[in-house]
Structure formats: structure tokens, C-alpha cells
Amino acid sequence: MKASKKLTFPKLDNEYVANILRQLVNQHSIIQMFFTRDIHSVFSHLIIHIEKNGDAQELQQSRWVKKVRNRYQINVHFIYSVKLHHRFSLGHPFIEFYCQTPAVIYQNDELRDSSINTREWKKYKKKFNGFQERFYHDHDLHKFQVQNLISEGSSNSVFTSYARLINYDLEYLEELCFGNNLNSLGLDERINNLIEYIPEIQKYFVKNSDNRYYLNDLFVKAEEATADDDAIYKNEMYEAVGITEKNVYGLIERRLDELKKLIKKGSLQVQKVPNQIDGNPKNIILEIAIETILNSVEVEQIYLYHQIAYGEKTTYYLMLIAKGAGNEKLSLISQSLKSKMDGKYDFVLLSHNRCWIQNNLYQNQRFFATIIQDKYLVYSSFPYHPEFHWEVPHNPYHADLYFHYKSAKNSAFQLFEIHNNPKENYQGLEYLFSLFFLSFCRTYIFAKTYYLPNYLYSQSLWQLCLYADSDIRKYEYLIEQFWIDFFPYLDRHMILHHKLSKLDKDEVGQMNVMVEKLMDELHHLVIGGRLLDFEEG
């Protein structure tokens, strides 16, 4: 055996790692080392073929292994001889490609009988087909079980079976990406580990938080419900979970095909990953708007879902999937954009984070599914943002519409009472009027679109009413005839102040007319349209 100080690893080109490898050769029965550098992938692979299982397990836990992975993007994998030969005999594609003779950077001549050697594609082809068929066979058995449970309507069992199937898929994907599986870890951690190797997998799992995923939480709830002899009714999520599993399955097929080509050619192929979405906006107004938004908030995606040209003004409706973009932030961005556009353009900005949208699809899916489409996407910070787990079938319903409608109606009736009071005591009426307008807009938008907006500023709410149904514009003359600038007036009175009211009878009359007409419109929509088939009091 060569002395460790004489060993050189020019192909490795990393003296820190080379020093460690020299020590390993001195201290352990190393049979072979394989190193493959792929300049088109995040990680290079260093596979160390060692004689004893105990040494392999112990060395895999060494601190330097993690350090080398994080600092130099070299994935170090220790594998003991019996296991390596077994996988080689089964035709494991990862082993077949990354343990080829050209990848050898160290060979122990004294243990040459234990070495792994390259074989020609013709000799390996049958092994590869056998490996692939075993995966397909077992996958189909898992899938068949899930389909049977779906037909039986066993919600809990469907989700726990889907969890087993996705874990099975991830196990194979891990084996094909870095040579071993991580089935001792939880689903969340396994997905996070795979992201470094296959960024595209992020598209298929929506996060509930920084480290947890929506589907895994669903699987956990199903398991807990089964243990407590309860039932979870999420049948509309079957197809969403099935789509996710199909996509992960597709990644396995793609990786198998990729390894097959690499083994046949004996060299790595270039993999191109898109950095930009196609069809970036050419419109200079949109470019200015997007730049302004990006300078103000952390945005994942922006959708231009509607555009209205009315008179000399064009209004853009933009939906942001972002973090930390509250109403105040959106208002500041809107004001900044207005100042840049000389009043010729207006912007209606909505913003939600991805987790909130996913968790509220039961109520808002019809609205978001209409907006979140490729044809409306004008900005994406990353090519692999998760796709939503849409509910199928989705049966939209107006949850709590009665209470929203009743609140708007009661505010209107309270205002009528004050208006008709002969004492002309209008104290607090401006606040009540602002409350009514907010209640009307949110209820109207919800009834039309199944989306209950946040407590946006009044002009944005009205513009969303126009998006929900342009026919509502017939009441804009009331806004234009208002004795004072309408929307700033409402926004000032969204917050209570301790002061005397200075309203006169004519001003209150204008309020009364507007409330009457808008309340009639809402009544016709909700009660006349039979969105509610009853009305109390």
C-alpha cells in the first residue's frame, strides 16, 4: 500500500479534502475512491468504498463530511463492500455511473479483488431494465391500494396510503440522486434535502412554514385521526395529492432516463435550468410597477389578472404572492406608483403569502384559481415556486355570507335612523357611513367572487367591486357628486377620532342616497339572487 503522504488526488483539486483522504487511507481499509465532478450540478460526488460496515457508518457521521458538503459542494458517501457489491449486482444506476473506472481517484492494490469495475452498456442493460421494472412493479402495487381505498371512501386510509406511496417515491429519488435513502427522516426534512439536488421538486409541495409542508401536515392529521378513531373529511384533496405524487414519480422517470443516457455515453450532460420566466413584461408601465414593488417588499410572484381602461385612466390589477406586504405597505406602493404615473395609471394591489392562500382555498379557490395562471404571470423570483394543491372537486360556497350581509344591512338601517331623526344629531355619522361602505364592498366582492378581501383602503375596495362586476360603475356619479373628495374622506374616518361632527343636512342626504342605492344593489344580489334564501329582521 502506498504511504499516504505520497498520495495525490489531482482530479479532486482540493487540498483540504485530499489531506483527509490520506488520513483515511492510513487508518481504515479503503478499497476504492470514486470522484465525479459535474460542473452543471450543485454537487460533486465522492464515493468511498470501504471494507467494514461499522467504519462506513461511523465515518459517514464525521463532522468533516457535512463541512465538505456545505463548503465545497462535495457529497461524500461511505459504502461498505458487501452493500456496494449487492447494489452493483442489482444494477443500481447511481452506483453503475458514479463508480465507473474513469472516476477512480484511489485504488488499494492489496484489496483489488474487492474492486468494482466498469462494464459495457450491453452487459449492464439487462440489469438496468430489471432495476427499473422492480420500481414500477412496487409503485403500481402502492397505487392500486390507494385507488381501492378511494373507491371505498376511506379518507383517513387514503391519506396514510398516499403518505406511504410518496415516501416510497422519495426513497427511490434519493437513491438515484445521492446513492442512499433517508427514510429514517421525516417527510419535511427529506423534501428539503432533495431540493438541493432537484430544485424543481419545490413546485410540488406548498410550505406551511419555513420547514413544514402542507401535505405532510395533512398526512399527520389523518394518522392522528385514525389513532383516535376519528375521521378527516378532505376528499376534495385526493386529486391534489395524486397530482403531487405523479409529479414526484415523473422526477424519478426523468432521473432514470438521465442516468441511462449518462451510463451509455460515459460522460455528464449539460442540464440547463431556466432563470427567468418566459414572456417577461414588455409594457414599460408594468416594468416600472414591478420594479417599484420589488424595491419595497419580498415578492415571489406577481400576476396581472385584470386591466381596465376608462376615460383617460388605465387601471392595472396586480396580485402579489409575497411576505410582509400588509395594507399599509400596499398603500405606500400604490401612492409611489401614482406619483410616477402623473395620474394616468392606477394600480389595485392584493397580496397574500402562499401558505395563507393554500389554507384558505376551501373558501377562496374560485377567485385565486382564476388569477393564478401562467398567462397572467408577469414576474417570478424563482422558477420552482410551489404550485397550489387545488381542491378537486371544489364546491364554492359563501361561508358566513349571512353575517357579512347582516352587518352591512344593519349599518345602513342605523344610518337611515340617524338621517330621519328630526333633531338632526349627526354625531358619528361619518364613521358609520365609512363602516357601511367598507361592509358593502367586502360583502359585494365576496358574493360575486367568493373572495373576502382584507380591510383595504376604500378606493381599492371599490375598484375590486368594479372587477367583480363592471355594472356597479353606474353608481360612480354619486362618488363624483360627493361634496368632498370621496375616498380620502372615507379613509380618514376608518379610524375613530374624538371630535364634534360638522355635517349638515344636505351632506347627510347625499350619504343617505348612496347608502339606499348600494344597499338595494346588495339586497338584489344576495337575497334576490338567492345566495341566501332567508332574511331575518
**Shared-domain flag, residues 105 and 128:** no
Which of these three, 205, 236, 265, is where a domain ends? 265
Band of pLDDT at residue 282, cut at 50, 70 and 90: low
For residue 297, the domain's CATH number is 3.30.70
Q: Is residue 3 part of a domain?
A: no
- Provide the Cα torsion 391, 393, 395, 396; round to 10°: 40
Share of the chain above pLDDT 90, in %: 71
Q: What is the DSSP string of 147-179?
A: HHHHHHT-HHHHHHHHHHHHHHHHHHHHHHHHS
In a domain, 271, yes or no: no
Q: What is the mean pLDDT of residues 164-190?
A: 93
CATH of the domain at 157: 1.20.120
Do 142 and 90 lie in a common domain?
A: no
| pLDDT (0 to 100) of residue 196 | 86
- 397-410 pLDDT, tens digit each: 898 999 999 999 99
Non-local (6+) Cβ contacts of 386 within 8 A are 202, 203, 204, 205, 206, 207, 354
The mean-pLDDT minimum among 194-208, 241-255, 383-397, 488-502 falls in: 488-502
Distance (Å, whole) CA 85 – CA 88: 5
Co-location of 219 and 307 in the same domain:
no
Whether residues 520 and 462 fall in one domain:
yes
Single out the residue in 91, 118, 145 at which a domain terminates.
118
pLDDT band for position 273 (cuts 50, 70, 90): very low
- Element (DSSP H or E) covering residue 368: helix 361-371
pLDDT of res. 281: 45
Strand 44-50 versus strand 30-36 pairing type: antiparallel
**Whether residue 258 sits in one domain with residue 143:** yes
Residue 318 has pLDDT above 90, yes or no: yes
> 0.75 cut: is pTM over it?
yes
Residues 39 and 157 grouped into a single domain:
no
**Is pLDDT of 277 > 60?**
no
Mean pLDDT of 357-378: 96
Residue 246 lies in a domain: yes
Task: Indicate whether 204 and 239 sit together in one domain.
Answer: yes
What is the pLDDT averaged over residues 128-149?
Answer: 95
Give me the mean pLDDT over the 219-225 stretch.
91
CATH number at residue 83: 3.30.300
pLDDT tens profile 44-63: 999 999 999 999 999 999 99
Residues 248 and 217 in one domain: yes
Could you tell me if 20 and 145 lie in one domain?
no
Note the pLDDT of residue 501: 75
pLDDT, one tens digit per residue, over 493-517 is 988 766 677 788 899 999 999 999 9
Asked whether residue 114 is assigned to any structural domain, the reply reads yes
State pLDDT tens for residues 475-499.
999 999 999 999 999 999 988 766 6
User: Is residue 389 assigned to a domain?
Assistant: no
Total number of domains constituting the chain: 4
Both 130 and 91 in one domain: the answer is no
For the chain, the average pLDDT equals 90
Segment 20-44, tens digit of pLDDT: 999 999 999 999 999 998 655 678 9
Q: How confident is the model at residue 1 (pLDDT cuts 50, 70, 90)?
A: very low
Handedness of CA 330, 331, 333, 338 (dihedral sign): positive
C-alpha cell at 291: 420594479
Alpha helices in 469-504 (DSSP H): 476-481, 486-492
φ/ψ (deg, to 5) at 88: -60, -40
Domain limits at 517?
401-527
Enumerate the H helices of 372-428 as residue ranges: 401-419
Name the band, by pLDDT with cuts 50, 70 and 90, for residue 110: confident
Q: Is 5 inside any structural domain? A: no
Domain presence at residue 533: no
414-472: pLDDT as tens digits: 999 998 888 888 888 999 999 999 999 999 999 999 999 999 999 999 999 999 999 99
Whether 366 and 411 share a structural domain: no
| 4 part of a folded domain | no
**Is 428 found in the same domain as 337?**
no
Residue 154 pLDDT grade (very low, low, confident, very high; cuts 50, 70, 90)? confident
Quickly state the pLDDT bin for 344 (edges 50, 70, 90): confident
- Residue 17 is predicted with a pLDDT of 94
Q: In the listed set 380, 413, 439, which residue is the last one of a domain according to the structure?
A: 380
